[in-house]
Each structure stands twice: as structure tokens, then as C-alpha cells.
Structure 1
């Protein structure tokens, strides 16, 4: 536009010079389009750019093209002016030089002029911002690890074969950039990168594989094998680490590809009891790759132990015997140094075993309780593997309160029970449903619909099938009555099943809240890749038979009922001391078992009276 109305006092309007900026993403996208889509096609292509609004003061507006230029529907960045254009990409440098640039410019100008005359520019102002882009470029770049000034490194070799196979019909030669990024005297430098031109051989779409080369010469200059002796630099512990899980990896590769080993290997397991069951459970846990195993026991190794308890030897019995928990942890470390094994030589306070009259002082009992609480809190799975019923009570209460998965195993002479305790829901998820008001669950109701599809939080614990509180089971007992006398193979079977039950629970998506599988489910589709997830496994070695009963949580249970847990969580050790120092009637009064006994006796008397009147 000239000076308005010819006024000589006004200066001629001038414009900022044209400026363009082509982002590296644009060249990458053009390369992909050229190699995989355009190939030898030189027809004009529509592209889209924009005038960038965001440069520092004093810089002219620049036409910007980036990776999205080939997508005509791509949005324009905010507060930028869109522009459409035409790409002319030639196949050769000669064609690029011979292109009639003046004619191309005039043709583009005529299109803009036609949009102005026809009024199309009024409807679409972008037509006023058309541009042309004339290009010729194909360069191959590789990251080159070679230090030789005259030669490229080995990684370029097969890339050039790829280029010759795919594009030798399109290009006679390509430019190659061997990018070399070195650190010299503490400074990164790319100055010794090399650029050269390579003529591509005629081998487009050849079906035959080129001759292969690349065998490395040995120390004698021949093409024989090179021998390396690694015996001195291999750490035996690392060799064991890589080899110990081979069986598990083979299981995942072929037999159980959906097995989530991380859930098993990362489980922190607390074994309460380091006797026959504890030793067998520990060995099976190691077989599953579990790396964190902690023992708790207060007994010492006796002469009768090593033949039945595989973590101990004769020497462990000498001089009064080593503490079982410490010796068991030490033996696991010797079997496999990669395991994190610890042992705690400590007692577990029990109901019916007063702490203020025995040699165990009240303060010592308090420390033992605090230690047990910390251990349970720091582990994922708690195994109850003790000799007596009452020794299982305190850890059952603490684990229920802390919502820990409990696996319980107990032995008879030729029978065993392995079970998972019901995993209580957190209080904010409906605590009123923790122990529903069902009658005591028993095996004779197994087939009824009442015991179908029972979720994990409604399952009973070890004490839920009892109508009496735990007490001192060793008082006034003979030696054979105090000890658990079992068939020698029973502990190995029960210990292995206890670990397998834990693994099956961990593989279930709902973990400890998984619905319990029963014997009736044996012919149904299993819920996990490893099979069923039962509540209990009751074994009868004399019949070589197992059954899978399911029992509901008992609302008057002396270990996991809400009344017991509420008292424990409110009063802590003060409540526990009352249990330790009182008879079993204390827990029975608290949970309502005493009233249940009275009502049952009254009903029996009433029934007898009825019979006599008939």
C-alpha cells in the first residue's frame, strides 16, 4: 500500500522480511514419508504450517513447519497464524537444481490472486498465506562407536544393506553421517564425526540373503573359537542366586505362564515355631523362592530333633542344645546365602499361663508381646506352627487386628489340618460384617448352600470351631500327652500344603479375601492358575485322603470375634494380661460362650423333661 491520498508527509509502508523455520521433526517425518510412502513420486503434496507468535522482541514473524505439517487436520497452536502450502520434493539433486523456481512462484501467486478476485479469501483467509517448499534430501545417520578416522563402525554395515534392499531403485547414492560422541579430557566432543557418500548396489527386493561375514579371529589369527576361563571371576553366591530359581522359571515358561512369581518371592513370612512343621515350611518356602523368612521359638534343639527336623544336625544338640530359632535361621543362610533369614529366641505369652506367678515376669511378658506385635506388623504372612493350642491364641488375635494373612497347621497322630484364617476387612469397609451371627460352622453342614461362595473375610479362624477358650493344655499331662506324637511323614505333608495354600492365596486377584474353594469345587474351573484356594485342608493319612471343609467365622470366637478384637485394640497389654492370668472363663464370659453353654444345658434339660412326659 502506498502513502495514503498521496500525502508526502507519510512514509511508505514496509514489511518485515520473510523468515522460515523447519523443525527437526519435520525432516524426520519427511524422511519417513519419502522412504515408505512417496518413494519416486514427485507429485506436489499439501502441507500445513503456521506463523509462530512467541519469539523475543525484535525478531520477525517466521513460518514454522514441524512434524504435524503433513496432517492437514492438525490443530494450529494457540495465537498462531495458520498457513497452507505445497511441497515439491525431487528425487535427484539435478532435478532440484533444474526446477523452474520462478514459474512455481508465479503459479502460487496466481492462486492467491484468484482467491482474492473470487472472494474465496473472504471465506477462508488462510488462502492468503500460501507458501511453497522445494526440497531434495536423503541422509542416513548412525551412532558410530568406531574410533578410526577413515572407516565407519560395524553397526552401519547391515543398515546399508537395508537401504540398498529398500531404496536402491529410488536413489543411486545416499549421504551417510557417522555421529561420534566422545569425551575428551572431560569435555564431550562430536568433531571427529565423519560424513561421506555411499553408492547403493542394485539389490532391490532380492529374495536371496547376501553372503554373511563376521566371524572374529582368535588369538592365533584363525577363525577358530576363543576360549575364556571365568572360574576365578565368578562369585559362587551369585551363581547360586541365578540357579536357585531355575525350576520356578521353567514353570512360568511352559506350565503356568500366568504365574506371578513376584507376589511369592517378595512375601515376608513369619514362622511361629521352628520345630518339625517350622523346618519343613521353611524349606518349601525357599523352594518357592521366598527370600524373607523369620523364625520365633524359645526351645532348644534336643537329641530327638535332627531326625525329624531337617534344619538341625547332631552337633546342634551338644552343650544343652542351640536355640532353635537362631539355629534354623543360620542353617537357611548356609543352604542359600541369598535368603534373608532371622531368628528370635523368645516366648509367646499364652492364656492359662499366668505371667505374674511364674518365672516369666509381667514386664518380660510385656516386652514379648511388643516384640511379637512388631514382627507380625513387619511381615505379610504369619504361619502358626506351634505345639499347643493356647500358644496360637495371641498371634491369631494380633494378626486379625493387623489384617495379616494367617496360615495355620496342626498335627494329630495321623491327621492334620491346614487352614487360612479369615482376613478381616478394614474397619471402614463394614466392620459389622466381620463376624456374622451364624451358628458355629461344622463339617457336617458342608454341603448346604450356607457354606457356598464364602468370601475370605467371613471365614473362620483356628478357634472359631471351639466352644471353650484356650487354656493350659500341658498341666497334669504325661510326656506322651504333652508332646505331639505323629507319623513321621505327616509334618512334611502338612508343611508343604501350608506353603502351597499360601501361594495359591497370593495368586488369587483378591488374595486373602478370595472365596473359599470346597471339596465340591474339585471338578469346577479353578479360580487361579495353580488351582483351588480352599479354606481348610483336613488330611487323614490312614486313608490317604484329604477333604476341603469351609467354616464361617463364629461371632463368639475367643480369638477373632469383634468383642475380643475391640478389647485388644482399646486396652492393649492390659487386656492381654487379664487373659493370661485368668482362667478360660474370662474369654468365655467376654464372648458370650458362657451364656451359650447355659442356654444349651437348659435346652437339654427341657428336652429330657419333655421326653419323660410323653
Structure 2
């Protein structure tokens, strides 16, 4: 008789598997190469009819893994609706458990002792058979991978360990080979088997069929392979009937020859049937799962399994059978000449490494880059550098908090362009720019979001042009620009412009409401006043950056007095050191005074410092209430320990940079209760009167000093000076 051949599995990996692996590698596994449990599925073998050739075309013996293979819920065969107690399963797939091992380098992937690793995985299957008699591990598989996440190339190698029978199993030739199931079992029996399988909570990979004593007249019973011994207790092991079979015939080889010669001997319809969901559509070669099923039976029941009637069940898609149903399953009897190896308690050798498309034992390559959306590629690449920080350096880094922060940039000039680029580098996805000017010919060399073409024909609006360039750099960013003029104290509003200014203020208020952080990156001092008041009133994070020729200031505003945490000293805003209200700093200025004349390298330094200050603040558990570290040692006690840091380090209040000395100083400015920008008097006046209060400030500088209390402070100062008893003596006492 010919040796029984088996159709091996062929892995089918969906792109979702690789996407899930990418996320798992970056966010969970990181540098770990520990094996991870996964699941895969296979279905019954299928074929399609080719109308042109009139022949059946066999489909592959596919074993599929996808994105759901990594989910914890997929360690069971089906979802909640198919758990025990449900009314039956609706799936046509069998779920197999396995493991997945990803290596950190291609060298480690290649250097793995694959023989040893395979042997360890095969031993797990064998141990499960011997120790628990369970069939759950018979379809166990594993896959080793290396993920080149920069190029989106994935090297992988599947293995489906299966035990080798020695001697090999045999199958009869011709009519004694695999037969159509309808030639052995009646349609009623098939319908009953199908109904019982569909009533199972999950589709079993293996099962037993016991025919009724009346043969086709009764319904067969379905059982678990684990119950083999008890399930077939009342069924004889012999499938041969004869009135003249000599007792001297003992060997299966002699029995087979005698059966072929004797016309008086016929094979009875089998009553003991071992069944499995067959993934192979090949009429001659059953699927790979049968190998381990036969090994299981030989290991546990060697005396009764020298011949086994096998049902290759392929009719998982039949729902309601009819008399015209075409049953695709097959049935046959396989034989073993003698008892060796597994029957003697020895673990047989195993095979199972999948061959590559060239038919050789070797890894395969999945290159996803050509089929991926470039926008998605960019998004993953942008995040990769940030997530790598968490692997070895900062595992506590909360990148999602940074990327979810919405930033409003007031000013799209030199500072605005550099701040926007640095924010994108940190993964910030929402950036809104606001500016009132257009791109001029002097801008592109200093402001990296503009080009020469943006300057012609009067220049494009800066904010909109900068936002468009951000989207070109990275399509995944939500960047928008608004042309808007921010009204300022000391710049009176003509009567005819009041409504337009009102609309501008309303739009600015709406934008501040929609964002979490306000970057003040404007040219003039007074243009920062309205955003300072609105930011403090609405509880927003405010980051200030200002440039001199070779100096810069970067600072974060403190919270308003009523929101200050107990035990924390209130930090000041941009105006807390002023004893006069901000006024017109632009009128009657020379060209060099009107333009920001600064060393070219200063703006990138200040901008990067401002963004790094924000990210450090976002990582601090106290957020906007984070206390600053002590000032520089030369400005305070050197023994004072640094406090209040986040995972990224210190969260200072002010950084003053001196490029000529290549030196930075960290300073602390206390909040002032008479500040024109953040004092309660100013904020309460705004909350009470809104735009009307702002309009008064624009038109009357003294009004702002009045509501802030500066006028009273001046009066108190003058009174104190007058109260001093000045000695107008000759001064001889100093001689």
C-alpha cells in the first residue's frame, strides 16, 4: 500500500498582523524578545469550479494570522457568543494556539539555534499528549520574526511541528483509498453529524463519530477525542467481517493481502471513526493536523489503532442539508504495520518548518512599504523616534499627553516657525498659527516655513502660509492659520474700527478656548497683554519667548491667585515686574528699533527652549502648578537642592539666555497682586465687562493702572516719601 502523504500548512499573513506587531514592538515589547502567545485559524479545504477548463481547482491549505491574533480574547476559539452555553457557533474556522518571538536585530534572528528551538516547541506538544491527554496543543504552531520598523520590512518563519511515524502510515490504492463520504455514510447520518457539530459551542478541530448499531438507520454520536477509550467501549475494534478468516493471520500486511485475494471478504461500514476538520482540498493527501492526531492515538492507545477509520470533514459551511447537498468530505482507513516509537513511550521525531516560495527551508519577507499609505508611513515614522525614548531612557514618558496638547502660536515669524517645527518633532498634532502680516523677502532665510515664492506679489499671509507648509512637511498634523491683528494697550481704537476690533477679540477668545497652550511669540511688548489676560482668566498654559540682540527670555506664566495651590508660591507673568501699564513701543522708532535685530542662531535656541519647557511642564504631575527649581547657584545658596522636576528634568519659571557668554540663567519671578496682566483686579474687571473693559484699556493707559492698583501704589509711594524727615544739616558729621 502507498505511504500516506500529508498536505502541509501554508501561512497566510494579513497586513493587519504586521501593523499590530509594529504597535506591540514599539509600545509593549520594546527590547524584549520573550515569546508572546498568539492564535491562528484555518478552515476546511475548499475548491472552485473552473468553467473554462471544466475542472476543480484546489485552493491552498491556508493557515491565517491577523491583527486579532495578538488579542487576549483570541486565545479562545471564538467570541463571547460562541462560549459554552451559547446556542452554537457560527464560525467555520478552527483556532490554533501558538507563540510568537520577535528578535531585536536581523543577526539575532539568523543566529537562533532553530533546531533546538523547534525541538523545545515540539516537546510542548508531546508533553501535553502524555501528561493531560489533551488535544488542544496538537495544532500548536510558532513564528519567529524580525521587524525592520524603519523600512517596514518583516522577516518571518512559521513552523507547524508534527510527529513523524515510523513506520509510516499507509492508505489503500484505488477504491480502497479515500472515498466520498456518501459512499460510506448515509445522508441522514451526515446531516446528523453536521447538526451536532454546528450545535457545539466552538468548532472542534478533532472529534469522534460512533455509528449507531443499526448502521445508517440510526443517528451517529459525536464525542471528544480525549474520551476515545470510554466513547468506543461498546464498539468492536475489528472492521473486518468474514466467515472463513483464518486465526493464523496476525499481521496487518498478511491481512491486507488476504483481503485483496478473497472475493468473500468485504470491508464493513466503519463504526469507530476518528474525525478532523481537514484544511486540505487534495483528494489524496489529508491536511497537516492529521499527523499529530494519529501520533496522539498511537501514543495513548497503541493496541487498538493499528488501523484507523478517518473522516476528513470539509462540510463546515453546510447549514441546512437537503437531498441535493453535495457533501465534500472523505473517509478512509489508514494502516500501520507494527508498533514502534510512540507506542513504546518514546517521543518520535518531528518536522514542520515552512518552506519559502522557492521551495526551500528558509524565512520569508513581507515588505509593506510599497502598499502602505505614505501619510500613514509618515505618521508611524514621526512617532518612532519618540517612542524609542521610552525603551531605555524614559519609560515613564507620557507621549500621548504631549501629542494630544493643542497649541496656539501667536506670531508666525522667526519664533513661530521654529516653535512649530519643534512641536511637530515632539508629536504635537494640533498647531494653530495667528499673525497679521505677510511674508516679505527678508523672511525666508530666517523663518524656515517660508520660501522665495511666498514673498512675490505682495507676499502670502504668514499664518496661512506657515500652516500650509506644516501640512506639506507632515500631512498628519492639524495645522491652521488665521490672519488676525491683536489690539494693544496704548494703541487707541478709532470709533469706526470698534466693531472690527470686537470681532478680532471674539475670534481670539474662541481660539484660546479651543487650545490648551498659548505661545506668545510676537514682536512688541504690548501685543502680549491681551493674550496674557485671556490666558490667565481661562486657566491656560502660557509660554512666552522674547528676543534681544544676543539675549532671550523664555518663561511660563503662573496661575492666577485664586487658583493657586495651597503651599505653592505664585509665579509671575510677563508683566509682573512692571510698575507701569504697557504702552505704545512702536511709534517714533527707527528701522532697527522696529525690526527684531538679533543674532541668527538665537531664535532657534529660544524656540527650542520654549518647546522643551512646555514638554517638561506637561510631564510634571502638578502640571501648570509645578514648582520651579531654585535659581542658579550664583544667584542663591549653592547648597539648595533642586526640586520640582519632571521625568524630563527641571521645570524652571524663567530662562534668560546670554549668547555672547553661551550661558543660561534660571530665575524665579514672583506673582504680584498689582500686576497689569494677571492680578485679580484686572482679571475680575475683564470677566465682568469683557470687551468693554479691554476697549477702555486700549484707549486709556491710566484706566489699566487704576484697576490694577498701580495708581494707589504711586500715591502710597509719594506719601511715604513726604513722610520721611530729611536731615538738611551741613553734613559735618560725615567729615
Q: Which residue of 1 aligns with 2:15?
A: none
Equivalent of residue 717 in structure 2, options 600, 604, 611:
600
Name whichever of 270-279 and 310-319 sits farther off.
310-319
Tell me how far apart the structure 2 counterparts of residues 204 and 94 of structure 1 sit (CA, whole Å): 24
Residues 217, 224 of structure 1: 8 Å contact kept: no
Task: Note if 1:454 corresponds to 2:568.
Answer: yes
CA distance in 1, matches of 2:500, 2:386: 43
Contact 2:544 2:556 (C-alpha < 8 Å) held by counterparts: yes
**Which of residues 226, 230, 247 is equivalent to 1:93?**
230
Shift of 1:225: 7.6
For residues 192-591 of structure 1, the aligned pairs below 5 Å read 202=342, 210-218=350-358, 233-356=371-494, 361-424=497-560, 432=562, 434=564, 454=568, 458-519=570-631, 524=642, 527-583=645-701, 585-591=702-708
Retained in 1: the 8 A contact 2:492–2:699?
Answer: yes
Q: Structure 1 pair 209/288, CA: closer, same or farther in 2 (3 Å)?
A: farther
Does the CA-based 8 Å contact 2:487-2:527 persist in structure 1?
A: yes
Query: CA, structure 1 residues 231+265, in 2 after alignment: closer, same or farther (shift >3 Å)?
Result: closer
Distance 1:472 1:210, change over 3 A: same
CA deviation string 1:544-584 (max 9, x = no partner)? 2222222232111112222212111121111111111112x
Contact kept, 8 Å, 1:454 with 1:516, in 2: the verdict is: no
The CA distance in 2 between the partners of 1:485 and 1:176, in whole Å, is 87
**Counterparts of 1:529 and 1:391, CA distance in 2:** 34
Q: Is the CA contact 2:354–2:361 (under 8 Å) kept in the aligned structure 1? A: no
Determine the C-alpha separation between the residues in 1 that align with 2:345 and 2:546.
72
Structure 1, unmatched stretches of 5+, are 1-22, 27-33, 41-88, 99-138, 425-430, 437-452
Deviation of 1:587 after TM superposition, in Å, equals: 1.0
Distance 1:211 1:37, change over 3 A: closer
Contact persistence 1:265–1:291 (CA under 8 A): yes
Kept after mapping to 2: 8 A contact 1:90/1:96? no
Report the 3-state secondary structure (helix = DSSP H, G, I; strand = E; otherwise coil) of the residue aligned with 2:432: strand
Helix, strand or coil at the partner of 2:524: coil
Task: Name the residue aligned to 1:64.
Answer: none
Structure having greater relative contact order (Cα 8 Å, sep ≥ 6): 2
Structure 1 pair 433–147 and aligned structure 2 pair: CA distance change class (3 A): same
Answer whether contact 2:486 2:505 (CA < 8 A) is retained: yes
SS of residue in 2 equivalent to 1:92: helix
Q: CA deviation at 1:418?
A: 0.9
Cα displacement string for residues 138-158 of structure 1 (whole angstroms, at most 9, x for unaligned residues)? x9998x86666887766x489
Q: Tell me, in whole angstroms, the C-alpha distance in 1 between the residues paired with 2:298 and 2:643.
A: 58
Instruction: Give the whole-Å Cα distance in 2 for the aligned partners of 1:595 and 1:403.
Output: 28
Q: TM-score, normalised by structure 1?
A: 0.65
How many corresponding residue pairs? 464
Secondary structure at the counterpart of residue 552 of structure 2: strand
Counterpart Cα distance in 2 of 1:183 and 1:391: 75
RMSD value, Cα = 4.5
Secondary structure at the counterpart of residue 342 of structure 2: coil
**Partner SS state of residue 355, structure 2:** coil
**Conservation of the 8 A alpha-carbon contact between 2:300 and 2:343:** no
CA distance in 2, matches of 1:471, 1:326: 29
Q: 1:270 Cα shift? A: 0.7
Contact 1:256/1:529 (CA < 8 Å) preserved in 2?
A: yes
Q: TM-score, normalised by structure 2?
A: 0.55
The CA distance in 1 between the partners of 2:318 and 2:526, in whole Å, is 70
SS in 1 for 2:533: helix
In structure 1, the partner of 2:219 is none
Q: Does the Cα contact within 8 Å between 2:564 and 2:625 map onto a contact in 1? A: no
